[in-house]
Amino acid sequence: MSLRIGTRGSALARVQTGKVCSHLAEMGVAVETVIITTEGDTATSVPLHEVGGQGIFVRALDDAILRGEIDCAVHSMKDIPAVRPQGVVTCAVLERDSPADFLVHDGAIEDIRIIGTSSTRRRAQLLRHDPSLDVRDLRGNVDTRLRKLKGGMYDGIIIAKAGIDRLNLDVNGTLLPTDQFVPAPNQGAVAVVCRDDPALIRLLGALDSPETRADVEIERAVMEEIGGGCFTPLGVYCSAGRLTAEILSADGARRERIEMEVHDPDDARECARILGARAAGLISEAQMKTGVEYER
């Protein structure tokens, strides 16, 4: 059997897809990689929430699957939006890499004043940690962001630790603890999505990590229940059933947080309803700021 696997063209996306291709090759499955450009790869001059949020990295590949141009696609799972088109399923979640954020910097951490990130969550968490920081928007792939850092535009930038590890980058900096800088839902996880075909799902399902899937499905249940995508400063992280979730104001000055043991996505949704009720004002503020109606 031969599969056409879709991917974005960034170095990180290609590395992640290469890992999936290697696993499939070990299973005796022939693969062809198809690079697809998404709107998120071309519209890099404006903040991510102004061009549709994380979902714009996924939409073009979903459409290619539904048109039959590719059989499946590989994504950073945190990019996959809560609402999915009919006919596309998440057939495998690979074993998770580090979920943490990493602050890349060369100088002393106490001298950092200007930090680059396009994430509303990271911005809010940084400002909660130090309200005097100057947090500026930063888009582009990992190479582009590192080049801007080296060019002196920022004192530091935040990148997912998983991306640094997958690209084997040699960078200086500080690993941000997940209890203080709660990651984005599903950060560090790679997902394979495909058309809703039982034979294809069964084949690709051999790549699935049950432990990682259990944790990320709990995180995804919280994200889906609360809504807001990347527009609300939302951190959600689950490890072996221990769930931490927080919602922050844009300036990091206020937050609501919950920490609980959960057993399944139903437990997670109940926790999310409690958190969402406590943070209703913060969610409304984010909605008014972006002018986006949230999908739930």
Both tokens assigned to 176: 């941000």
**CA pair distance 127, 109, nearest whole angstrom:** 15
Contacts of 239 by beta carbon, 8 Å cutoff, 6+ apart: 215
pLDDT of residue 291: 46
User: What are the 10-residue block averages of pLDDT along the chain, 296 residues in total?
Assistant: 91 96 96 84 47 67 95 94 91 98 95 95 97 94 93 96 96 97 97 96 97 97 81 93 96 96 96 96 81 37
pLDDT of residue 294: 35
Q: Are 31 and 5 in contact (CB under 8 A)?
A: yes
pLDDT of residue 62: 95
Q: Are 284 and 276 in contact (CB under 8 A)?
A: no
Question: Helix, strand, coil: what percent of the chain each, to 5?
Answer: 40, 25, 40
Both tokens assigned to 17: 């897809």
pLDDT of residue 37: 83
Measuring CA to CA, how many Å separate 31 from each of 68, 87, 195?
15, 22, 16
Where do the domains of the chain lie, and which CATH numbers do they carry? 1-94+189-208 (3.40.190.10), 101-175 (3.40.190.10), 210-290 (3.30.160.40)
Q: Are 30 and 1 in contact (CB under 8 A)?
A: yes
pLDDT of residue 82: 81
Give catalytic status of residue 41 as yes or no.
Answer: no
pLDDT of residue 287: 76
- Spatial CA neighbour of 52 closest among 66, 62, 38: 38
User: Which of 62, 79, 101, 215 is an active site residue?
Assistant: 79
**DSSP letter, residue 78:** G
Model pTM score: 0.88
Both tokens assigned to 235: 């951190």
